[in-house]
Structure 1
């Protein structure tokens, strides 16, 4: 089964840590405002979602959303959530850990696109 969003082992380990410290978490791919275009991690329910937010899937048992307008540009790619050292978005939970989530991507092949549609 093709997944629109996946996470590296390092990202999954950080999600486990964040869940232990904060309880259930959720992700939203930032659209480029204050925090650039980074995956943002919040306590589950702290970010109010709108009817234009698209659920792409789950990483580490945590939902991952993106605004529909942004999804229209990314729908042909698989988003791979990774983690690197450094400070990320000021509102994202991982910042105090000295880490930041990072979005990488790869284009779906023809067979994967057929499966997704």
Structure 2
């Protein structure tokens, strides 16, 4: 993981882990996401200290970089979505999401947002 210095403006730390030998069916995936949500609420201090991202290692390729960019420069397909969102559009979309809207204030006024890219960005 290559960490860019501008991440210090929004989230200065990144930790990575690779889980191997796990096959997700719908039930296991839901349990995993529930655990991730519990970690967000407790250890991650309601996402103010840490935000956890989950990625399928079969669909991405290293090396990886951790960067901080203006929201209009970041595009990706969020979990359970098929559409590519620009991050500023995604924040608007999540304003109506019952679970995620309460976390938008953490980064929405920042000039840069944290993002992890793979080799193909």
- TM range, smaller chain: under 0.3
More strand by percentage: 1
